[in-house]
Amino acid sequence: MWTFITQLLVTLVLLGFFLVSCQNVMHIVRGSLCFVLKHIHQELDKELGESEGLSDDEETISTRVVRRRVLLKGNALQNIPGEQVTEEHFTDEQGNVVTKKDHTSTPNP
């Protein structure tokens, strides 16, 4: 009986080591595949002339700030807060240009 339990525990430990080894191999294969795909993508960009002047880790970001004020005369004067709109343009991982807009109100003086 004790022999069977000992063999079962040894088998479970060896199975655990095997599973950890498989996970490590899958991690290495995934990293290698990502490296190869990134290299192929860079070569295609060079051939198509799409990545001139930018390295792989750089992003193109531009920001534009727009301020609007409303002026009212006479009795129509109200406390209307100003609005600031920030617009960011950047390129995502797939090469798409993404626009992010942020609206914030500015307090009245």
Express each pLDDT in 85-100 by its tens digit. Answer: 777 877 888 888 888 8
What pLDDT, on a 0 to 100 scale, did the predictor assign at position 12?
Answer: 93
Q: Does a structural domain hold residue 59?
A: no
Closest by Cα among 76, 99, 80, 74 to 89: 99
Q: Does a structural domain hold residue 34?
A: yes
Q: Does a structural domain hold residue 31?
A: yes
What pLDDT, on a 0 to 100 scale, did the predictor assign at position 86?
Answer: 76
Q: How many domains does the chain have?
A: 1
What pLDDT, on a 0 to 100 scale, did the predictor assign at position 63?
Answer: 63
Q: Which domain range does residue 32 map to?
A: 24-49
Determine the residue type at 33: L
Q: Does a structural domain hold residue 33?
A: yes
9-13, 34-38, 53-57, 82-86: lowest mean pLDDT where?
Answer: 53-57
Mean model confidence pLDDT for the chain:
76
Query: 15: pLDDT confidence band, cut at 50, 70 and 90?
Result: very high
Calculate the alpha carbon distances from 24 to 2, 18, 31, 89 in Å: 33, 10, 11, 38
